[in-house]
Amino acid sequence: MALTEAGVREALKKVKFPGLTRDIVSFGFVHGIRVDGGSVEVDIVMSTANPSASQAVERDARAALEVLPGVTKVKLECKVQAPQAPQVAAPARVALPGVRYKIAVASGKGGVGKSTVAANLALALLRDGVTVGLLDADIYGPSQQMMMGCTDKPRVTPEEKILPVDGNGVKVMSLGFLMDPDQPVIWRGPMVMKALQQFIEDVDWGTLDYLVVDLPPGTGDAQLTMTQQVPLDGAVIVTTPQDVALIDARKGLAMFQKVNVPVLGVIENMSAFVCPHCGARSEIFKHGGGKRTAEQLGVPFLGDIPIDPEIVVGGDAGTPIVASHPDSAAAEAFVAIAQAIRSQVERS
């Protein structure tokens, strides 16, 4: 089989950008391919603030090409361009002119209570005396419309801007308002990015001190779109104490570092259960892993959230625990974390 440019391009689609799930072809980093018999020349131009990324990409691209049938010689030209922050940030500043601080809540894997943490952090910030919005960017599993007790549908202004819905005093926007709850969201990457772009550009948030962005779990297209289009002031990583969750938390943290978003710290959710009757403490999912991970990676440990059945009850009822049981240990933990986040963001 003759070696072709198309075959070379397909091989390069297997080369992922370090720490992320997208390949260098879909990123647009492959600028030129030349095939002459068994000789292959490829020009790769990357935009990244991580200079070591080019070495990893060049190594992986060479390995992918050298195993192609018919290849006798591989020549790679790999260049790195520093990202131009002002050009990336400009559209977002136009789209969110009245929002002072944007904080992403993320996790490396699902099932760690990220959306619950995002909802309660939004309410904890509100309780601390600032105006707050909550953007549910978890396209595949939107839940904030339920957790925040939003019964109304978003309205559209004469200027064709979407008005967020009030949920316990927080301005909330979620794809869940617009979708049939029984229908799955079966979208490819471009559709996900288009939906998020519309949320960024077409929602009229008004004037806000804080916008909390509930990201989907993992390190895919939705996360990249938000980090590229919104000048995030920081991100928090939610994990549980188990080792399997901590492994994925490290990946999420590394992603934000690669795209130059400040990591404000790690939150350990479902940390321990304290019996309300006897006071005995049970570490159901172990304890302390989030703090150790934060120390190992050199980021702040923001705090731990205990297991409390009222957290689940409040989320299902549309009144998260910070609003329903403000004097509980869990609510106080959320408030302390919110204050720690504010102290970092507002002093920078």
pLDDT tens digits, one per residue of 29-81: 888 889 888 899 999 888 776 667 778 888 898 999 888 888 899 998 888 87
Tell me whether residue 16 is exposed, middle or buried, using C-beta atoms within 10 angstroms of its C-beta: 0 to 12, 13 to 18, 19 or more.
middle
Give mean pLDDT, residues 91-116: 78
Name the more confident of 342 and 96.
342
User: CA–CA separation, 232 vs 213, rounded Å?
Assistant: 9
CATH number of 87-347: 3.40.50.300
Give mean pLDDT, residues 99-118: 88
| pLDDT value at residue 89 | 39
Q: Which residues contact 164 (CB under 8 A, 6 or more apart)?
A: 133, 154, 171, 172, 173, 203, 204, 205
| pLDDT value at residue 80 | 80
Q: List 293's β-bridge partners, or say none.
A: none
Could you tell me the pLDDT band of residue 86, with boundaries at 50, 70 and 90?
A: very low
Q: Minimal CA–CA distance to 198: which of 244, 235, 251, 162?
A: 162
Q: Which DSSP symbol is given to 161?
A: P
Could you tell me the pLDDT band of residue 182, with boundaries at 50, 70 and 90?
A: low
Q: Are 337 and 303 in contact (CB under 8 A)?
A: yes
Element (H, E) at 32: strand 30-36
Which pairing describes strands 263-268 and 155-156: parallel, antiparallel, or unpaired?
Answer: unpaired
How far CA 44 is from CA of 26, 166, 187, in Å, comes to 12, 47, 29
Could you tell me the pLDDT band of residue 1, with boundaries at 50, 70 and 90?
A: low
| pLDDT value at residue 185 | 55
Q: Are 28 and 57 in contact (CB under 8 A)?
A: no
Element (H, E) at 155: strand 155-156
Please identify which residue in the block is written with the tokens 């916008």: 211
Please report, rounded to a whole number, the percentage of residues in the chain having pLDDT higher than 90: 31
Please identify which residue in the block is written with the tokens 């959710």: 269
Class of domain 5-83: alpha beta
How far CA 94 is from CA of 50, 208, 226, in Å, comes to 27, 15, 15
Q: Are 254 and 283 in contact (CB under 8 A)?
A: no
The model's pTM: 0.68
Average pLDDT, the chain: 82
Most confident among 85-99, 180-194, 290-304 (mean pLDDT): 290-304
* SS3 (DSSP) at 109: coil
Domain boundaries, the chain: 5-83, 87-347
337 pLDDT higher than 90: yes
User: CA–CA separation, 288 vs 266, rounded Å?
Assistant: 11
| pLDDT value at residue 227 | 75
Q: What angle, rounded to 10 degrees, do the helices at 114-127 and 329-347 form?
A: 70
Please identify which residue in the block is written with the tokens 């999420």: 252
Please identify which residue in the block is written with the tokens 């205990």: 306
For the chain, what's the residue count? Answer: 348
